[in-house]
Amino acid sequence: ARMGRTVVELFYDVISPYSWLGFEVLCRYQHIWNIDLRFRPAFLGGIMQKTGNKPPAMLPKRAEYMLKDIKRMAKYYQVPVKISRDDFQRIISTSSLAAMRFITAIDMTKTEYLEPLTREFWIRFWSQHEDISQPEDILTVARQAGLSSELSQKALEMTSSPTVKDRLKETTDEAIKYGAFGMPAVVAHYNGEPHLFFGSDRLELLGSVIGE
């Protein structure tokens, strides 16, 4: 970390709309706060499975609230998340594993593309309501993010390698070790200890804990 900067890790998955909100807000705060922001692509499915958590939309009252909540937050933070009732089914029937492995491969090879690539996945899934689970979807997203076809192809091949699979698994386990049970999970390393904040509506609290 740069002198006296607080390391803030953001564990996220592109299937999670709240992760997108948290991501964009932290991207803005990193220029204002004295933080060293680190993106940690992880697998939400793995976290849910290992912690016994269930998608919030499975509880009808909660699903109803979530629809309103995400719309309000999207408007407030000016992030183009578009959500409707059908999206709950879409989330359940879409696996983000291939996308998160691809993002992990880019994180391991060309970190400078991590932010734009991740954002394009959210735009495709949450603004354009297109699929992100097939290789052709992934390559389209990569092209939108400015990756060359050589780099995209190489990263796509890497997604089936043990190196990438293990890295994604390790990052996911690390999030769980910090106490994560869903996404986004934000971990601030302050005063020699990790502080976990869950969700995208705790960022002001995060600021106050780290003295911002």
Active site residues per annotation: 16
Report CA torsion sign: 10, 175, 131, 135.
positive
How many beta carbons lie within 10 A of that of residue 146, not counting itself? 12
How many beta carbons lie within 10 A of that of residue 181, not counting itself? 15
Name residues whose C-beta falls within 8 Å of residue 182's C-beta, 6 or more positions apart in sequence. Answer: 16, 44, 47, 48, 51, 53, 198, 199
Q: Render 67-131 in DSSP notation, one character per residue.
A: HHHHHHHHHHHT------THHHHHHHH---HHHHHHHHHHHHH-GGGHHHHHHHHHIIIIIS---
Q: Please name which of 55, 28, 26 lies closest in space to residue 39, comparing C-alpha atoms.
A: 26
Q: Please name which of 95, 94, 112, 114 lies closest in space to residue 103, comparing C-alpha atoms.
A: 114
DSSP 8-state class, residue 40: E
**Tokens 């995060």 map to which residue?**
206
